[in-house]
Amino acid sequence: MSISIASIIKKSGPFAHSSNSVQKTMFTVLLALAPATVFNLYLFGWPAIMLFTVTVGSCVAIEAGCLALADRPVKAALGDYSAILTGWLMAMSLPPWAPWWIGVMAAVFAIALAKHSFGGIGQNVFNPAMVGRTVMLISFPVVMTAWVAPHPLFSAGAPGLMDAIAITFGGHMPDTVSAASALGYVKTELSRGIPVTESIAKVPDLMDMVLGYRAGSLGETSAVLILAGGLFLMFKRIISWHIPLSVMGGVFLMGAIFHAVDPARYASGMFHLVSGATFLGAFFIATDYVTSPVTKKGQLIFGLGCGVLIWLIRTFAGYPEGVAFAVLLMNGLAPIIDQYTRPRAFGRNSKGEPLPLVKEKP
Amino acid sequence: MKLFPILGGIHPDYRKERTSEKAIVAMPMPATLYIPLQQHIGAPAEVLVAEGDLVRKGQMIARNQGTVSASQHAPTSGRIKAVTEVAAPHPSGLPQMTIVLESDGKDEWADLPEPIADPFTADMHTINDRVAQSGIVGMGGAAFPSAIKLNLGEQKKLEILLLNGAECEPYLTCDDRVMREYPDEIIDGARIMAHALGTPRIVIAIEQNKPQAIGIMTKAASAFPEIRVVGVPVQYPMGSERHLVQAITGRETPARKLTADLGVVVHNVSTTRAVHHAVRFGRPLVARVVTVSGGAIREPNNVLTPIGTLVSDLVEFCGGFAVRPESVVNGGPMMGQPLPSLDVPVVKGTSGILALTAEEINDSQTSSCIRCGNCVTVCPCGLSPIDMASFIRKDKLDGAAKLGVMDCFSCGSCSWVCPSHIPLVHYFNYAKGALNDLERERSKGDRVKIFVESRTVRLERAAEAKRATLAARKPASDNAAPGNAAEAKPAPTTEEKANA
Amino acid sequence: MWIAIGSLTVMGLVMGGLLGVAARFLAVEENPLEEELKSMLPGSQCGQCGYVGCSQYAAALAKGEAAVTLCAPGGKVLIESLAKKLGVKADLSEHEEKVPEYAFIHEDLCIGCTRCIRECSSDAIMGANKLMHTIIIDACHGCGKCVPVCPTDAIVMIPYKVTLRNWHWPKPEIEQAHSEHEVEHAH
């Protein structure tokens, strides 16, 4: 023979592979997040940019440290962008003017505790970004709910670079700029006995909320850009419609039904849909591959569960926002959901027994 | 015609354009041919020739034996050089008994059986016997002896003969070319087979990425109202027998049943053409069209190849390798088997020889599963590759079996789509083999247990009988006791052993 | 305080007593386990475990006197299922997975003494006095008990050959970046 070929076969087929890869998937998600992120970083100015950088940077650094500790190749694993994505999503769920140590500590809890103590990428039960955010929220509730009104870069009153350093690294939060998020405001007013119908009139109107010109975390504002990113992911077939639609459907339906029953007590479905982190949660957080069910049926149940829990927590629990809690609770259920929603095998019924042979004229 | 959706599936890069416009060319007869006794599912054929024998083209050189088997014929005239072990076209590279035939260059036909004058009035057995005699097996790749499938009409009421012209594997164009160049032969073969099976209807299913073939076949079938040519969606693995039946009839073949239980028998279009040759001309299956393609092949082509041609000769005929291939595959890239060497013969089930470059295969290092669930979505069998693989990785084969790993037909969709490049199909191939091994061991163990138990019973009975005789003799003659004792001596040993 | 101590003591005594009574009267007899273990064993009475036969080994296992790794014909699969049944951890480090074998008689060496026939527990050897013996492969479970009794060393154990019929893909070696490290740590 003129040309010899491999004499020992190590791998069976197939001998074709899609262009799909983990790296590509994660990168596409980052791409989808980019427009909303850029807009919001502009909206909240230098302090937000610094917190964002610190959070993502710490995630990558801690990931590298964990990999080194576990004796795994660091460079190859960092190349999958998963740590960047975790940091990115987490930064988008923090108050934009929060001090630097919030980002660093959140990164420790997200990467070291939620991800690597479970065995690294693909092994974690709970969404790392949401674990990081939630631990911070419970431990430092004051800092974690100090929202600011938008101060677009280079606009009058916006903090300059030096002010930003003072805010992020010095902990000098200017008192004057604090503002409540819409959800928080409505909740506080309600506890003071002011009906939702009145308080809601004082928050920015729905249109402003959709566009994002309001107080909140990076990912909470600008619903429309998050939505665009989500649709882009669907178009790229990174995510399917099942989880986003069922999350939004769950929130909206619960809101709408109870609003119809008692408008003074319950905010409308539309308000719930566009406020807070509903869109970010529906498109980017609940859809996290690792911590959501793999079957389509399971994803619908998972999403609906997230949606209903978000509404329940917002309406009845102590916290104004419930996306992170809802997603984490459903994360815990994902393995069980998967087990009970396995697809029916070809030629078998759902119990795995062969289908009966029905004679009919084809 | 109304079509029905099938589950899952993928859309790989088809790359059929490399050979789809290349007309079938016959390759010159190689000097030496290697005809394995087993080129099909079932028992190997029984050798009829010995070293030194002179044979002519089409002469039977090995006969089918047992219920599931197929005979082999000399692809050309010449001398039998040896009957010996030669590496099989199989990933293991293990040897199998093979007839080595030296061509005499004359390519003289033997006396062939008479054509069946009017097959449409002939008895079904006449046709089936001819098909069996001609060594025809399924030419889509599975290589199941066709005559057995034609006998199904005897046991079951059949409605449709479904001709599989889907050719859903990337690269392969041999069926496409055969349909375009020999439509009348296929139609005639199909009508003969439908007659033998007793099916009133014939449906020819072709994937819509072969519009010329659909056009030509439709035209050729227009004279026969019982034949429908249907363009089916381009969706791998549409050519899987059960899935094609579902697409055409909307019915799902139950597990452990055959499509024939639904009244549908599926045959590949090239098989049908071989039946036409056997019935109309008495010619056995001695050559087939093979697509030779892949990025490493200099001149990709559709080649009419004598059975037993070495892959190396076939590659040589197609200009050899332009670059060193990463893998040489027997069949399509999705379900084909890698070849450890080029010195293996082309067999009846060889639909393609692909020399693939690393870029075409696009494999890379396996990384951790990120639970994206794509494998579950694309699985055409409704299985959960992600869960089965994790069971198998931890050697929990029975867990994987419970999830249905034995229902997997290794279509490769899950491996193709996996972003982490986990060799899912390899896991399942391993598990299926290991589970079969276990099953064999278990059934042997059970058999041995029965032997052991029956032996114990027998020994006990013998000991019992001996004791009885002893007891009967004892009171009769006390004097003879020493003699008796000596005689009876071996008995306790057996007894002890039996009790042990 | 005395009331608390007293009530807890009384409760402890009553419940402990109940448990003791239950243990005595509701005790599961050990035999079912023994029977179950016996049915799991190959049942070929080959004696390679060191016990006289499978039922003796099963009895020893049920009493916890024998290790689960002794049965050679059962292989790794049996060891694992026994370990699971008995809720113990099987130490597979000592276990060498034996390739399945069958006995073969060199016919020119066989003198027809029938010793091996008497030794074979599964009637897998055919032949009679002064006549050559042959092994029925299908019935031979490879215990090897016939090998030492042969006076002419005519019996050898032959491993089953891998052929195209029984070959299957091996378990994939994952070239995952970190797997080699994991293996190192395991040692």
Question: Mind listing the pLDDT tens digit for each residue in C72-119?
Answer: 777 777 887 888 888 877 766 666 666 778 888 888 888 888 888 888
Contact B354 A15 (CB under 8 A): yes
The partner residue sitting opposite A72, judged by closest CB among C172, C173, C181, is C181
Give the integer Cα–Cα distance in Å for B401 and B407.
Answer: 9
Per-residue model confidence (pLDDT) at position C130: 74
Among chain B residues, CA nearest to A124 = B370
CA atoms within 13 A on the CB side of B407: 27
Token pair belonging to A43? 């909206």
Give the integer Cα–Cα distance in Å for A10 and A8.
Answer: 6
Does A11 reach chain B within 8 Å, measured CB to CB? Answer: yes
Contact B320 A3 (CB under 8 A): yes
In a domain, C116, yes or no: yes
Give the integer Cα–Cα distance in Å for A169 and A148.
Answer: 17
The partner residue sitting opposite C181, judged by closest CB among A11, A71, A76, is A71
The DSSP secondary-structure symbol of C173 reads -
Could you tell me which residues come within 8 angstroms of residue B487 by beta carbon, excluding any fewer than 6 positions away?
none
Give the integer Cα–Cα distance in Å for A310 and A269.
Answer: 12
In a domain, C127, yes or no: yes
CA B429 to centroid of chain Cα atoms: 15
Per-residue model confidence (pLDDT) at position C187: 37
The whole-angstrom distance between C161's CA and the closest CA on chain A is 19
Contacts of A10 in chain C (CB under 8 A): 173
The partner residue sitting opposite B416, judged by closest CB among A18, A344, A347, is A18
Q: For residues B236 and B162, is the Cβ–Cβ distance under 8 A?
A: no
In a domain, C187, yes or no: no
The reply to whether omega before B237 is within 30° of 0 (cis) is yes
Contact B382 A346 (CB under 8 A): yes
Same domain, C81 and C115: no
Q: For residues A320 and A187, is the Cβ–Cβ distance under 8 A?
A: yes
Contacts of A362 in chain B (CB under 8 A): 159-160, 249, 251, 262-264
Range of the domain at C127: 101-159
In a domain, C135, yes or no: yes
Per-residue model confidence (pLDDT) at position C183: 37
The whole-angstrom distance between C97's CA and the closest CA on chain B is 14
Q: Over the stretch B275-317, which tens digit does the pLDDT of each residue have? A: 999 999 999 999 999 999 999 999 999 999 999 999 999 999 9
Its ipTM equals 0.88
């499509």: which residue's tokens?
Answer: B259
Does C2 reach chain A within 8 Å, measured CB to CB? Answer: no
Among A300, A299, A306, A308, CA closest to A327: A306
Place A203 in a pLDDT band, splitting at 50, 70 and 90: low
Token pair belonging to B368? 């951790």
Instruction: Between A245 and A198, name the one with better pLDDT.
Output: A245
Q: Over the stretch B313-351, which tens digit does the pLDDT of each residue have? A: 999 999 999 999 999 999 999 999 999 899 999 999 999
Contact C185 A76 (CB under 8 A): no
Contacts of B374 in chain A (CB under 8 A): 20
Contacts of A299 in chain B (CB under 8 A): 373
Q: Which residues pair with B229 in a beta bridge?
A: B204
CA torsion, ordered B98, B99, B102, B103, to nearest 10 deg:
-110
B120-134, B205-219, B266-280: range with lowest mean pLDDT = B120-134
Work out the widest C-alpha separation in chain A, in whole angstroms: 90
A contact set with C (CB within 8 A): 10-12, 70-73, 76-77
Contact C178 A12 (CB under 8 A): no
Percentages helix, strand, coil for chain B (3-state, rounded to 5) are: 40, 20, 40
Q: Where are chain A's structural domains?
A: 22-339
The partner residue sitting opposite B430, judged by closest CB among C122, C162, C171, is C171
Does A78 reach chain B within 8 Å, measured CB to CB? Answer: no
Per-residue model confidence (pLDDT) at position C181: 38
Q: Domain count of chain C?
A: 2
Token pair belonging to B16? 């059929």
C contact set with B (CB within 8 A): 42-45, 52-53, 77, 100, 118, 121-124, 138-139, 141, 162-164, 166-172, 174-177
Contacts of B377 in chain A (CB under 8 A): 240, 296
Give the integer Cα–Cα distance in Å for B56 and B110.
Answer: 5
Give the integer Cα–Cα distance in Å for B92 and C170.
Answer: 10
Give the integer Cα–Cα distance in Å for B206 and B204.
Answer: 7
Among chain B residues, CA nearest to A1 = B312
Strand B78-87, strand B201-207: pairing? unpaired
Could you tell me which residues come within 8 angstroms of residue A42 by beta carbon, excluding any fewer than 6 positions away?
A152, A153
Give the integer Cα–Cα distance in Å for A52 and A90.
Answer: 9
Q: For A200-301, where are the E strands, in sequence order? A: none
The reply to whether omega before A320 is within 30° of 0 (cis) is no
Place B484 in a pLDDT band, splitting at 50, 70 and 90: very low
Q: For residues A306 and A247, is the Cβ–Cβ distance under 8 A?
A: yes
Q: For residues A345 and B242, is the Cβ–Cβ distance under 8 A?
A: no
C121 pLDDT more than 70: yes
In chain A the first and final C-alpha atoms are separated, in Å, by 53
Contacts of C121 in chain B (CB under 8 A): 452, 455
Neighbours of chain B (3+ CB pairs under 8 A): A, C
Work out the widest C-alpha separation in chain C, in whole angstroms: 92
Q: Which residues pair with B10 in a beta bridge?
A: B236
Q: Where are chain B's structural domains?
A: 16-289, 364-500
Give the integer Cα–Cα distance in Å for C106 and C111.
Answer: 10
- The mean pLDDT of A94-104, rounded to a whole number, is 90
Q: Give φ, ψ of B318 to 5 degrees.
A: -95, 25
Does C138 reach chain A within 8 Å, measured CB to CB? Answer: no
- The mean pLDDT of A41-56, rounded to a whole number, is 90
Strand B287-293, strand B352-356: pairing? parallel
Among chain C residues, CA nearest to A72 = C178
The partner residue sitting opposite C178, judged by closest CB among A10, A11, A73, is A73
- pTM of the entire structure? 0.85
A177 pLDDT more than 80: no
- CATH 3.40.190.10 is the classification of domain B16-289: no
Q: Which residues pair with B306 in a beta bridge?
A: B287
Does B380 reach chain A within 8 Å, measured CB to CB? Answer: yes
Write the single-letter amino acid at A354. P
Q: For residues B258 and B240, is the Cβ–Cβ distance under 8 A?
A: no
Phi-psi region of B471 (alpha: psi -120 to 50; beta: other; left: phi over 0): alpha
Contact B365 C175 (CB under 8 A): yes
The whole-angstrom distance between C171's CA and the closest CA on chain B is 5
Q: Over the stretch C151-172, which tens digit does the pLDDT of each residue have? A: 888 888 888 888 888 888 988 8
Neighbours of chain A (3+ CB pairs under 8 A): B, C
